[in-house]
Copies of this chain bind each other. A is one copy, B any other.
Amino acid sequence: MLDDRKLAVLRAIIEDYVSTTEPVGSKTLVDRHNLDVSPATIRNDMAVLEEQGYIAQPHTSAGRVPTDKGYRLFVDRLSRVKPLSPAERRAIETFLAGAYDLDDVVARTVRLLAQLTRQVAVVQYPSLRISSVRHIELVPIMPSRLLLVLITDTGRVEQRGVELPEAIDEDSIAQLRAVLNACLDGRPLADAALLATDLPARIAPGDRTNAAAVLSVLLESLAEKKEEKVVFGGTANLAVRDFSAGLRDVLEALEEQVVLMRLLGETGESAAITVKIGAENAVEGLHDTSVVSTGYGAGDQVLAKLAVLGPTRMDYPGTMGAVHAVARYVGQILAES
């Protein structure tokens, strides 16, 4: 029902609109792209496209503008992910290679994505739930207070104060630390839950209540969604385009971890690239916004997600290319460390 030319017209409309920000008319279209037909023909095609909901006109006698549905079709069938230029690839590589630690990797990734796409970048920290324990450390602060430090194989370091029911001495701490590490080292953090039954038996009776307190804090940090940390950047890119309306909504959404998580949550668990266009985003106030996201991680395992957020009128192939490439490189970096 949509022949090849109509699809070509839709593609042309989207490409033009994305680059000019202005509704595009039949005349402009035949000029700019070398379609070998007359404007009138294009108008007929446009009428059909409009009837089917792929494009719309802001008002009578203005050019056409793509609808969400139009972008959807474009992304699904009319475009390919655009590979980055060699220069861009090199830039990514050198930029990420210099990172010191996980915080730095994440921070650099955000900057990189924002710069490449000239849009807002969102990056989630590798999930605690999926990571394995590399080391657990207990540091005494006061007689009845410890600092629990958790280091994962993705390089993430979590810290948490533990209030103990009873005072504890160095030896007991050492024992507890040894047991915890013996049980959890190299294993997925989720296994900590299994310890609940196992732990008391391995601990001197007098320290069991304290051990339970430590464990419960450990489980807590695992359970809490708060730990799904998300970072963003590139908001300055929002100010430049004629996007002032809705800008506030976007900034608000970005600062609300919960909302960000929801946005990323819609990304599938695979390494594929997900595109949510306009109203497809469940989040209120982001209906003029698209989100291009993907999972990343060391190897196949998806440890976390990253995304780019911009107006529905964005360069999808380019953005998708950048998201894809950056996710891959970050994965490599994580695998190496």
Contacts and interface: CB of A to CB of B under 8 A. Distances in A.
A137 B252 CA distance: 39
A101 B159 contact: yes
B147 A139 contact: no
A85 interface: no
Contacts of A251: 235-236, 238-239
Number of copies: 2
Interface string A303-320: 000000000000000000
A273 interface: no
A240 B248 contact: yes
A194 interface: no
A288 to B, nearest CB: 14
A157 interface: yes
Interface in A210-240: 233-236, 238-240
Interface in A138-173: 139, 141, 147, 149, 151, 155, 157, 159-161
A102 B141 CA distance: 14
A135 interface: yes
Chain A contact residues, majority secondary structure: mixed
Contacts of A139: 134-135, 137, 151
A337 B157 contact: no
- Determine which residue in A100, A103, A161, A337 has the highest number of CB atoms from chain B within 10 A of its CB, and name it: A100
A248 B240 CA distance: 7
A19 interface: no
A139 B134 CA distance: 8
Contacts of A12: none
Nearest to A157: B159
Contact of A160 (B101, B248, B254): B101
A157 B139 CA distance: 12
A79 to B, nearest CB: 29
Interface in A231-265: 233-236, 238-240, 244, 247-248, 251-252, 254-255
